[in-house]
Amino acid sequence: MAEFNYDVVVIGSGPAGESAAMNAAKHGKTVAIIDRRQDVGGNCTHQGTIPSKALRHSVDALMKYNRNSMFRAISEPKVLDFPTVMKSAQTVVGKQVSMRARFYARNHVSVYQGDAFFVDPHRIELRDGDNAGDVLKGGHVIIATGSRPYRPPEVNFKHPRIYDSDKVLTMTDTPKRMVIYGAGVIGCEYASIFSGLGVKVDLVNPGARLLAFMDDEISDALSYHMRNNGVLIRHNETFKKVEGKKEGIVLTLESGKTIKADAFMWANGRAGNTETLNLEAIGLQPNNRGQLEVDKSYRTKVDNIYAVGDVIGWPSLASAAYDQGRGASSAAMKDGHSHFFSDIPTGIYTIPEISSVGENERELTEKKVPYEVGKAYFKDTARAQITGEDVGMLKILFHSETLELLGIHCFGDQAAEILHIGQAIMEQPNGGNTLEYFVNHTFNYPTMAEAYRVAALNGLNRL
């Protein structure tokens, strides 16, 4: 057994851990990163964001091809199975792993493979893996172990037709009918993916609407287009049991309904990866979902230990995890650049995708903020008419007196890209954050960005 000393030890090599490690290394600190996998990248690269978004892109491209009338003159509509599009997604995973491994080597970050086990607040023993038995001693420790799908004990995930969002990536065929329980971000994204492959999808939602945290109009638009793509959405239905059969599954709901399908996917919640860290040795107690509590500097109750990413819960986004990792390592080094990230944009990669930043109409109404709405429908923009991706809308919420931008909400092709123009203007200081920017500046034509000018003029006309 050997002991190695570092200024900073990071547990987990996903977006949060990578960002924390790189920031510390750039500041001249000695840094080690621990991951239980042989390959770096964390859940984001191997089982979460990257494979699911690569899957989504392949399916979306297939759908665009099949609905393009120009291609019908030369070919019949194409059909792809799930293993084929999954194989395409795995090539992206490989590229991501290679790229991130180079980052660590270039910045002289030591990478250790194994399970991290706290001995005390500064010392971490490596168990299992290539470096089993070694101890890493760190002045500061950053926990970035991510999360995994929550698995209720009453669901038999060993059955070959019962999946969660990790196991579904190993699916070897394409079911004809599939039930997805849970209509949050993951459930909605996979419902879009499978329906795009021609699978009949039942999306069972314990709540009253899809993605209730989103703007109501955007949520309604998503519901409409998912139904239009063949997804059967069942609201206000709660899980009772699922039985795995030789030929498929039978889902029973508390309402008494039973649904038969070829496959079942549980997509209702995630749990933080903290159970093997031996946190009791350092006086930390995660909540019932394995998540850790932190302050505005991402510091836990132990002075030298920080936690970032999915392991601290909301918003559980890769984009936020990058910021949190940088913020935590800056706080540990006291470099003056640490701050808590709160106004985080949301990108949800359904088909069509949706994205938002700032407040929605419901929140502004509850706060009694006088606001107005400006809208641009994609079907009215030249670029969308050219590409044929004319489903969607850009919606700007602004103060009816000061014209200050209060929220940007987008639905449709490239929504997550389009949103960042509005986000950038919202962050302008000294009165620069107003609707007037969009009417006083020139946008390339034809572009999707032009939707901002259209929406701004629409909003001013309402005034």
Q: What is the pLDDT of residue 128?
A: 87
Q: What is the pLDDT of residue 378?
A: 97
- When pLDDT is cut at 50, 70 and 90, the band that residue 171 belongs to is very high
> In this predicted model, what pLDDT tens digit does every residue of 36-52 receive, in sequence order?
999 999 999 999 999 99
> In this predicted model, what pLDDT tens digit does every residue of 10-36 receive, in sequence order?
999 999 999 999 999 999 999 999 999
Instruction: Residue 343: name the closest of 319, 367, 311 by CA.
Output: 319
Bridge-based pairing state of the strands 305-307 and 405-412: unpaired
Reading the block at residue 362, the tokens are 């419901």
Q: What is the mean pLDDT of residues 68-76?
A: 82
Share of the chain above pLDDT 70, in %: 100
- When pLDDT is cut at 50, 70 and 90, the band that residue 74 belongs to is confident
- C-beta of residue 175 within 8 angstroms of C-beta of residue 87: no
- Answer whether the bond into residue 175 is a cis peptide, omega within 30°: no
**Where does residue 179 rank: exposed (0-12), middle (13-18), buried (19+ CB within 10 A)?**
buried
Q: Is 186 annotated as a binding residue?
A: yes
Q: Is 94 annotated as a binding residue?
A: no
Task: Give me the CATH code for the 162-268 domain, please.
Answer: 3.50.50.60
Q: Is 182 annotated as a binding residue?
A: yes
In sequence order, what E strands does 12-86 have? 31-35
Q: Is 145 annotated as a binding residue?
A: yes
Q: What is the pTM of this model?
A: 0.94
> In this predicted model, what pLDDT tens digit does every residue of 386-420 receive, in sequence order?
999 999 999 999 999 999 999 999 999 999 999 99
- When pLDDT is cut at 50, 70 and 90, the band that residue 120 belongs to is very high
What residue type is assigned to position 182 of the chain? G
Which CATH number, 3.40.718.10, 3.30.420.140, 3.30.390.30, 1.10.3720.10, labels domain 352-462? Answer: 3.30.390.30
> In this predicted model, what pLDDT tens digit does every residue of 325-381 receive, in sequence order?
999 999 999 887 777 767 899 999 999 999 999 999 999 999 999 999 999 999 999
Rounded-to-integer distance, Cα 279 and Cα 142, Å: 13
Q: What is the pLDDT of residue 76?
A: 83
Q: Is 184 annotated as a binding residue?
A: yes
So what's the architecture of 3-149+271-333 in CATH?
Answer: 3-Layer(bba) Sandwich (3.50)
Reading the block at residue 435, the tokens are 């609707």
Q: Is 188 annotated as a binding residue?
A: yes
Q: Is 146 annotated as a binding residue?
A: yes
> In this predicted model, what pLDDT tens digit does every residue of 304-329 receive, in sequence order?
999 999 999 999 999 999 999 999 99
Non-local CB neighbours of 113 within 8 Å, separated by 6+ positions: 34, 35, 36, 37, 38, 129, 130, 131
Q: Where in the chain is the domain with CATH 3.50.50.60?
A: 3-149+271-333, 162-268
CA atoms within 13 A of residue 294's CA, in its CB half-sphere:
28
Q: Is 172 annotated as a binding residue?
A: no
- When pLDDT is cut at 50, 70 and 90, the band that residue 68 belongs to is confident
Q: What is the pLDDT of residue 191?
A: 98
Helix (H) or strand (E) holding 138, with range, is strand 135-143
Q: What is the mean pLDDT of residues 263-273?
A: 97
The Cβ of residue 387 has, within 10 Å, a number of other Cβ atoms equal to: 16
